[in-house]
């Protein structure tokens, strides 16, 4: 049950924090983003990557992972990097951001696939989605979109990861393709996490705090 509830809870927590703080670029959000990137990357290496290489041919696995990286790059052509904290919405626009919405939903749907086989990955997704939900909600609240559009966006975004988990677990046709899709997801996670980790901080003090956050993320993922 936690495989379905925790990704939903992550979005709820992110929305609540965004509503309370109403800040889009707070230092704490950036540090949480750094922690989440390191935590997700470490879980991918410790848990998901060895399992995929165990079930698939090594060279094919590498190909699928690279395709996952390319897929994420393609998605970011439309989302502008919202998956790792870069959200660009024109505040005066009243037209629903379909490209952002669809790309985020595809990303969220795919990241739900590894969860049912690798229970620890749900914590990586949980920690990853909280800062993203904060940033998305903050920008939506500052936009000119209607309340219905904002709620619909957030509900659909929250539902995509549990939907991916459900389909990977219950759809018979997916039995032979789960490991392949997981390899794609590894590529997605690698691209997102490394982008977060290699972004330049704002001054030496922030970089030191970021280093601590990243180290904690790796350490907790190792002992989880």
- Pick the residue with more confidence: 52 or 27? 52
Phi, psi of 90 (to 5 degrees): -75, 120
Phi, psi of 74 (to 5 degrees): -65, -45
Is pLDDT above 90 for 106?
Answer: yes
Residue 10 to residue 133: CA distance in whole angstroms = 8
User: What tokens appear for 201 in the block?
Assistant: 């901080």
How high is the pLDDT of residue 191?
Answer: 93
Which residue carries 């540090």 as its tokens? Answer: 31
pTM: 0.87
Is pLDDT above 60 for 203?
Answer: no
User: What tokens appear for 66 in the block?
Assistant: 């690279």
How high is the pLDDT of residue 144?
Answer: 80
Number of other CB atoms surrounding residue 5 within 10 Å: 13
Q: What is the pLDDT of residues 64-102, one digit of tens each?
A: 999 999 999 999 888 877 776 667 666 666 678 888 889
Q: What is the pLDDT of residues 140-153, one digit of tens each?
A: 888 888 889 999 99
Three-state secondary structure string covering 157-181: HHHHHHHHHHHHHHCHHHCCCHHHH
- Section 2-20 average pLDDT: 91
Nearest Cα neighbor of 115 from 104, 133, 129 is: 129
Which residues, other chains included, contact 151 with Cβ-Cβ below 8 Å and sequence gap of 6+? none
End-to-end CA distance of the chain: 19
């Amino acid at each position: 049950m936690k495989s379905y509830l925790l990704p939903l809870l992550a979005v709820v927590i992110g929305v609540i924090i965004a509503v309370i703080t109403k800040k889009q670029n707070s230092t704490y959000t950036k540090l949480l983003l750094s922690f989440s990137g390191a935590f997700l990357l470490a879980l991918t290496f410790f848990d998901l990557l060895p399992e995929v290489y165990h079930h698939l041919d090594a060279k094919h696995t590498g190909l699928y992972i690279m395709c996952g990286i390319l897929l994420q790059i393609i998605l970011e052509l439309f989302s502008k990097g919202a998956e790792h904290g870069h959200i660009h919405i024109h505040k005066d626009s009243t037209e629903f951001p379909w490209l952002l919405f669809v790309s985020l939903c595809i990303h969220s749907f795919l990241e739900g696939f590894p969860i049912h086989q690798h229970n620890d990955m749900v914590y990586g997704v949980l920690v990853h989605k909280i800062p993203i939900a904060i940033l998305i909600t903050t920008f939506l609240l500052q936009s000119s979109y209607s309340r219905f559009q904002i709620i619909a966006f957030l509900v659909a975004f929250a539902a995509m990861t549990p939907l991916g988990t459900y389909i990977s677990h219950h759809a018979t046709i997916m039995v032979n393709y789960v490991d392949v899709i997981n390899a794609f997801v590894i590529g997605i996670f690698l691209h997102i996490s490394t982008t977060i980790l290699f972004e330049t901080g704002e001054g030496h003090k922030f970089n030191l705090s970021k280093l601590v956050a990243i180290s904690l993320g790796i350490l907790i993922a190792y002992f989880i």
